[in-house]
Amino acid sequence: MLDDLRALQRQLQLEKMAKFQRRVSFGDLLTDRTENAREYGFGIGTSCYDNVLILGDVNVGENTWIGPNVILDGSGRLDIGSFCSISAGVQIYSHNTVKKSVTLGQEPIEFSPTHIGDGVYIGPNSIIAQGVTIGDCAIIGAMSFVNKDVPARKKVWGCPAEIRGDIEAE
């Protein structure tokens, strides 16, 4: 059986390489990204890689792309709008265990809803902290740590992320 599974994996990888010039994890060879999103109840046209970790109450609008190796923590509620791009390795949180850890369990885990507006681009390996709201059509630069709200149509990046400019209205 293991030999058959390996042969299937090799065949599927060859087909994926021929069609898209890419190699993906085994789970992504067996699943369809739009079907994954649909099974989570995400909006029409949304795409979600098989290796995305999704926890708790996560709501995603239409036509949003969720890249590989993403963490979507909805334990305190997470809302993501339509037409967003959530790049590879992004982590979005709605809880933290800081106080619980440093008080040796005397304080509880903290939960706060996190909201991502419509048309938001979040660059690779960025982290969005619990309780943050990102306004519509904002851009989060790669490898940013966003620990405060981002107004609509702003460009932010850095650690911690800072507003670096505006996005011109079309």
- Same domain membership, residue 113 and residue 143: yes
Summarised one tens digit per residue, pLDDT across range 136-155 is 999 999 999 999 999 999 99
- Same domain membership, residue 123 and residue 63: yes
- Assess if residue 170 is contained within a domain: no
- Same domain membership, residue 39 and residue 18: no
Residue 132 belongs to domain spanning: 33-161
- Provide the domain count of the chain: 2
Residues 27/5, Cβ–Cβ less than 8 Å: no
- Assess if residue 37 is contained within a domain: yes
> By C-alpha distance, which of 70, 35, 32 is closest to 54?
70
Summarised one tens digit per residue, pLDDT across range 19-73 is 889 888 888 888 889 999 999 999 999 999 999 999 999 999 999 999 999 999 9
- Same domain membership, residue 128 and residue 88: yes
C-alpha dihedral (71, 37, 110, 89), degrees to nearest 10 = 10
pTM for the model stands at 0.91
